[in-house]
């Protein structure tokens, strides 16, 4: 048992060192190119344009690894906000839940001007969200659209249990489709069943992606042309990791 624990600790230390080394190497390259360190500047139009969608997705995944290890980039937000006054060129747009425990920019180790973030309870899409995502990608040049769910989602749990309260009732109809799609689930179909809750959370993300592709010809065409990628993920609050869905 002790050997296993020592091996795990060593593995974590090596991984953390590699992440730190990678970050330092990137900062050295930026310095050689005459750029301020990432923590003191914002993304430019030229940088955004040069990035390919898969490169942006890889950057988000690398940022999430740093977040999970507690190695976030140190940023000077007052300098960044002043640098972003003239314009913004985010590399991605994230559709997330309103949950206060889901810190979108932090979990991808991003700063001011790096991401567009749209939030709604249950991270579902509607006309307003589609318009926002079209603005982010078609107008402003973002290369990745992420639909981001999270574990223990209260909105999904409420949809499973058919909560009725004011405007929440109508809002939950957007998520109830994901619940209904799992009618063949063999276990208990309530939010008290953690496996069922997790399955609905995943299904809700995937169905939201399908909704985006079906109801936004702009985003669908951009994806088909290779201008953007549309992906889904679920944030694990216990580990800080985002698990991307196939």
d(CA 219, CA 99): 26
Closest CA to 147 of 212, 196, 67, 199: 212
- pLDDT at position 122, please? 98
d(CA 124, CA 101): 18
Distance from the Cα of residue 244 to its chain's centroid: 9
d(CA 28, CA 23): 9
d(CA 116, CA 85): 15
Q: How confident is the model at residue 8 (pLDDT cuts 50, 70, 90)?
A: very low
User: What is the chain's Cα-based Rg?
Assistant: 20
* Average pLDDT for the chain: 87
- Tens digits of residue pLDDT in 149-191: 999 999 999 999 999 999 999 999 999 999 999 999 998 999 9
Residue 34 has pLDDT above 60, yes or no: no
Q: How confident is the model at residue 39 (pLDDT cuts 50, 70, 90)?
A: low
Q: Could you give the domains of the chain?
A: 36-245 (3.40.1050.10)
- Tens digits of residue pLDDT in 51-107: 999 999 999 999 999 999 999 988 877 777 776 777 799 999 999 999 999 999 999
pTM of the predicted model, to two decimals? 0.84
Q: How confident is the model at residue 235 (pLDDT cuts 50, 70, 90)?
A: very high
- Which three-class secondary structure state does DSSP give residue 145? strand
- Tens digits of residue pLDDT in 182-211: 999 998 999 999 999 999 999 999 999 999
């Amino acid at each position: 048992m002790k050997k296993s624990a020592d091996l795990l600790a060593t593995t974590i230390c090596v991984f953390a060192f590699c992440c730190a080394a990678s970050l330092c190497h990137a900062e050295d390259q930026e310095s050689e190119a005459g750029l301020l360190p990432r923590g003191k500047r914002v993304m430019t139009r030229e940088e955004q344009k040069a990035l390919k969608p898969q490169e942006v997705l890889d950057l988000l995944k690398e940022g999430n690894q740093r977040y999970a290890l507690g190695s976030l980039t140190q940023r000077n937000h007052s300098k960044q906000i002043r640098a972003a006054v003239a314009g913004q060129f985010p590399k991605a747009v994230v559709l997330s839940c309103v949950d206060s425990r889901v810190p979108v920019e932090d979990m991808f180790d991003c700063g001011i001007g790096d991401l567009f973030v749209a939030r709604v309870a249950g991270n579902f899409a509607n006309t307003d969200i589609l318009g926002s995502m079209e603005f982010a990608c078609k107008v402003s040049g973002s290369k990745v659209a992420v639909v981001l769910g999270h574990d223990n989602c209260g909105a999904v749990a409420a949809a499973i249990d058919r909560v009725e309260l004011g405007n929440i009732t109508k809002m939950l109809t957007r998520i109830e489709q994901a619940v209904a799609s799992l009618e063949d689930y063999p276990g208990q179909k309530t939010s008290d069943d953690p496996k069922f809750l997790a399955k609905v959370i995943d299904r809700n993300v995937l169905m939201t992606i399908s909704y985006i592709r079906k109801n936004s010809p702009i985003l669908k065409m951009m994806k088909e042309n290779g201008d953007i990628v549309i992906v889904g993920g679920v944030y694990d609050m216990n580990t800080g990791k985002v698990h991307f869905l196939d």
